[in-house]
Amino acid sequence: MPVRWYGIMMAVAFLAGLWTATQRARRVNVSADTIADVTLWLMAGSIIGARIVYVLTYWKQEFAGGPFSEVFMIQHGGLVFYGGLIGASLATGAYLLWKKLPVWKLADVFAPSIALGSVFGRIGCLLNGCCYGRACSLPWAITFPKDNPLHPPTYPVHPTEIYDSLLNLLLYLGLAWLFRHKKFEGQVFATYLIGYSICRSIVECFRGDYPPDHIHAGFLTSAQLLSIPIFALGIFLALVLSRVRRTNT
């Protein structure tokens, strides 16, 4: 079985997220065992959600008429981050409610680690040849090899994977700082939703891998369209949870 860099970077992303979340949890008296248990649900939910959304999004282009087994071949690439975020949130939230664990406290613990995981995940996309950018003549443009099985362009393109990775690194550093100075439970997670939706929308302006039917209103990509409710949800959570904190005090 071939070992692919995309899979390696996904594994590094989860390990980096787990380690940093464990270190952060100690500050709020959450055990490492709890973080490990939650991480299993987070990993399962994120992979399943990311694959489901990818298959639904690209069914006509990649799966219709082909063998159904290809739906499960994630080693060939094909994960949508927003699907992973939604899947992870639902699976993790269900587990926390089942075990009667503090939802927003643990959401804050994991939020910076999600951004850090995206740093490595996007490097995996770069090595895989997916999520590439539009044609670019700038000095930092990149060119993919001609024999890439995903068939990215062989002319210079924007390194959108690197843009995304660097923005997520800045987001991680900001959220890690906020975790130590937060005013209410859930603030870090709400800020992550706001920050990531902005970062993703910026990067999407340079993406070049979308088919024409994935461009909405003439200029919005599917990810930018989904960033709007994610951004609004972050604002809503920040307002509601801060009000709950003031009410309780």
pLDDT in tens, 141-155: 999 988 877 778 889
Backbone angles phi, psi at 164, to 5 degrees: -65, -40
pLDDT of residue 207: 93
Six-digit token pair at 142? 């990149």
Work out the average pLDDT over 209-220. Answer: 82
All residues at 6 or more sequence positions from 54 whose CB lies less than 8 Å from its CB, including other chains = 78, 79, 80, 83
How sure is the predictor about 188, in pLDDT bands with cuts at 50, 70 and 90? very high
What is the Cα–Cα distance from 61 to 58, expressed in whole angstroms? 5
Other beta carbons less than 10 A from residue 105's beta carbon: 17
When the pLDDT of each residue in the chain is averaged and rounded to a whole number, the result is 89
d(CA 59, CA 153): 22
Model confidence at 193: pLDDT above 90: yes
Domain membership of residue 206 (yes or no) is no
**Residue 165: what pLDDT?**
97
Give the closest residue to 175 by CA, choosing from 234, 238, 117, 112: 112
Is the per-residue pLDDT at 37 higher than 80? Answer: yes
Q: What is the pLDDT of residue 218?
A: 80
Q: Average pLDDT in the 23-33 region?
A: 92
pLDDT in tens, 41-82: 998 999 888 888 888 877 777 777 777 777 777 666 677 888
**Is the per-residue pLDDT at 24 higher than 70?**
yes
* % residues pLDDT > 70 (the chain): 96
Answer whether residue 245 is part of any domain. no
How many domains would you assign to the chain?
Answer: 1
In a domain, 23, yes or no: yes
How far separated are the first and last CA of the chain, in Å rounded?
57
Q: How large is the average pLDDT for residues 172-176?
A: 98
User: In this predicted model, what pLDDT tens digit does every residue of 81-91 receive, in sequence order?
Assistant: 888 889 999 99
Euclidean distance between CA atoms 26 and 24, whole angstroms = 5
Spell 31-40 as b/e; 16+ CB within 10 A means b: eeebbeebbe
Can you give the residue range of the structural domain that contains 48? 5-184
Mean pLDDT of 219-230: 91
Closest CA relative to residue 84, chosen from 107, 52, 125, 36: 52
Total-model pTM: 0.90
Question: What local confidence, expressed as pLDDT, does residue 75 receive?
Answer: 61
Whether residue 242 is contained in a domain is answered as no
Q: What pLDDT shows up at residue 129? A: 87
Contacts of residue 197, defined as CB under 8 A and 6 or more positions apart, other chains included, come to 227, 228, 230, 231, 234
Residue 180 has pLDDT above 80, yes or no: yes
Please say whether the beta carbons of 164 and 122 come within 8 A.
yes
pLDDT, position 249: 60
